[in-house]
Structure 1
Amino acid sequence: MNSPIVIDRNEILKRYKTIDKYTHKGIQGHALLVGGSYGKIGAVCLASKAALRTGCGLVTAFVPQCGYEIVQISVPEVMVVVDDHEKYLSEIALNLDVDAIGIGPGMGQKMATQKAFHDFLSNNNLPLVIDADALNILSHNPSWMALVPPKAILTPHPKELERLIGKWHTEEEKIGKTVVFSIVNQVVIVMKGAPTYIIDGQMIYRNTTGNAALATAGSGDVLTGMITSLLAQSYKTIDAAILGVYLHGLTADVALPETGYQSFIASDIIANIGKAYLSFGL
């Protein structure tokens, strides 16, 4: 197994692209966040707002009807498209010109939602981030991995990873099984944890930012929005994953002197993305 490449500031600056001063929202990328169900619309709000803060020009959220007003009021900069169903996603029908899609936050696992996800995978060839309930649906239906486009980014926390690759007994075995899963399915895996590893086939990257403050509800939803945003801005898949994870962790490092560990919440990640970017000094 290859020893991990350490993701530090120098590694990030090789990948980070500065903004053209003549750019406009139409060429800064359009990200789509798909998810939400009754009682879990907040996940899509967090992901959508994070996508905007990370720099893409346009963001659309696709949610059940019960999420329409919530997203419009919570994040007025985000456009909203709704499913036919009131409380959960039943058909992911998109007639939108978008550059990247993040799917799963708050989505739930209703049978109609599972079918909608299957049909979506069958028809999608855009850059994709798969998280949360979308990962759990895949673990229930392993044959659907064949429908996942090459170079999609999967962002499991430890329990979601276990459902995908099976149990492990050592850290080395966990990474080994994840490498095999990545190679077989041609996907990039963000193994969320302390530290977070990014697996791209045989290539293993270890993130160096972040602290215990990130162990809070919604933290993963924010990461999904950030990585989807970077994909929409035309970053290469592996660079979007690496930069997204690094920035996400850096927000907690930047905020810690003011928030401490206990009072830091997912919205604080979003609020500190700007400071994290500024710390690059470019």
Structure 2
Amino acid sequence: MITITREFISEIYQPIALDTHKGIQGHVLLIGGSYGKIGSVCLSSKAALKSGCGLVTALVPKCGYEIVQIAIPEVMVITDEADEFMEQIQYNFKADAIGIGMGMGHERQIQVAFHYFLKTNEIPLVVDADALNILSMNKDWIALVPKRSILTPHPKELERLIGPWQTVDEKLEKTMQLSLKMDCVIVVKGAPTLIVDGSTIYKNTTGNPALATAGSGDVLTGIITSLVAQKYSSLHAAILGVFLHGLAADIALPETGYQSFIASDIIGYLGKAFLSLDK
């Protein structure tokens, strides 16, 4: 198991070029949301922008249009014709990275739409939340996930994918087997969070119990997807994203405490987390 230290991060972190512009910083597409859960996409979208990508488009059901436009004016929004949850996944531009699943739901219509999307999409994905749950309900679709995608399951989502385990070693063995089978990177959320890439496991060293709060995973998906759009490899995007996510919480904690920390605070302290890497 490889420990993710600041020295390790310094070797993969890429400072922003002084002559860059939004057109070459990467365009992120985030797909998700349903009635009552549009906030998940708002969190992912803002986290993506605050992690350095140049453009973010959110694809949501019609009920989310005004919410996202008002909540994050910097984000572009496209909508499905369906109102409460998406029945189609369609867009007409080339995204540099795609995150999918946050608050998406798992109604039959969205399952059909997700299946068609998997059959037609070729670029690696960041797969989270309900997209993971849909895969666990339709395990033969796992073969359709592009190689070098990143899966970000919390413990229950991981169990649905790989089955129950009795020991930590058994959990890790089953996770490595899935990573090898899919040729993907798996972010095993927890304390500590682990990143599994085939038979290699990386252990994160940042973060604290304040991260056990609603929306924390949505923020992580936005950060990682943004880094992929900025041309980090899948493995490096996962490692750096998890490190920054935890580091922002560590920086925030003296000011927020555990109880008053919310997922938006991760986004609010990302700037200081990046500045600490620049030093």
Q: What is the 5 A alignment of 1:1-282? A: 4-282=1-279
1:94: how far off?
A: 1.4
Q: Given that residues 99 and 127 in structure 1 are in contact (C-alpha distance below 8 angstroms), is that contact kept between their aligned partners in structure 2?
A: no
SS state at 1:160 partner: helix
1:261 maps to a residue whose letter is: Y
SS state at 1:33 partner: strand
SS state at 1:151 partner: coil
Q: Given that residues 100 and 231 in structure 1 are in contact (C-alpha distance below 8 angstroms), is that contact kept between their aligned partners in structure 2?
A: yes
Q: Given that residues 15 and 278 in structure 2 are in contact (C-alpha distance below 8 angstroms), is that contact kept between their aligned partners in structure 1?
A: no
1:241: how far off?
A: 0.3
Partner Cα separation in structure 2 for residue 196 and residue 220 of structure 1: 12
CA deviation map 1:103-156 (0-9, x unaligned): 000000010000111111111112310000000000000000010000100000
Identical aligned residues as a percent:
66
Query: Following TM superposition, where does structure 1 have runs of at least 4 consecutive aligned residues deviating by more than 2 angstroms?
Result: none
SS state at 1:81 partner: strand
Query: How many residues matched?
Result: 279
1:96: how far off?
A: 1.2
Superposed CA RMSD in Å reads: 0.6
1:99 maps to a residue whose letter is: D
Normalised by the size of structure 1, how large is the TM-score? Answer: 0.98
1:240 maps to a residue whose letter is: A
Q: Given that residues 53 and 274 in structure 1 are in contact (C-alpha distance below 8 angstroms), is that contact kept between their aligned partners in structure 2?
A: yes
1:64: how far off?
A: 0.1
1:157 maps to a residue whose letter is: H
SS state at 1:205 partner: strand
CA deviation map 1:133-182 (0-9, x unaligned): 00000000000001000010000000000000000011111111100111
Partner Cα separation in structure 2 for residue 24 and residue 181 of structure 1: 38
Q: Given that residues 43 and 105 in structure 1 are in contact (C-alpha distance below 8 angstroms), is that contact kept between their aligned partners in structure 2?
A: yes
CA deviation map 1:223-251 (0-9, x unaligned): 00000000000101100000000000001
CA deviation map 1:14-49 (0-9, x unaligned): 100011100000000000000000000000000000
CA deviation map 1:196-236 (0-9, x unaligned): 00000011100000000000000000000000000000101
Q: Given that residues 16 and 243 in structure 1 are in contact (C-alpha distance below 8 angstroms), is that contact kept between their aligned partners in structure 2?
A: yes
2:41 maps to a residue whose letter is: V
SS state at 2:206 partner: coil
1:113 maps to a residue whose letter is: I
Q: Given that residues 127 and 231 in structure 1 are in contact (C-alpha distance below 8 angstroms), is that contact kept between their aligned partners in structure 2?
A: no
Q: Given that residues 130 and 155 in structure 1 are in contact (C-alpha distance below 8 angstroms), is that contact kept between their aligned partners in structure 2?
A: yes
SS state at 1:279 partner: helix
1:184 maps to a residue whose letter is: K
Partner Cα separation in structure 2 for residue 238 and residue 225 of structure 1: 15
Partner Cα separation in structure 1 for residue 113 and residue 220 of structure 2: 23
- In structure 1, list runs of 5 or more residues that go unmatched: none
Q: Given that residues 62 and 83 in structure 2 are in contact (C-alpha distance below 8 angstroms), is that contact kept between their aligned partners in structure 1?
A: yes
Normalised by the size of structure 2, how large is the TM-score? Answer: 0.99
2:232 maps to a residue whose letter is: Y
1:281: how far off?
A: 3.5
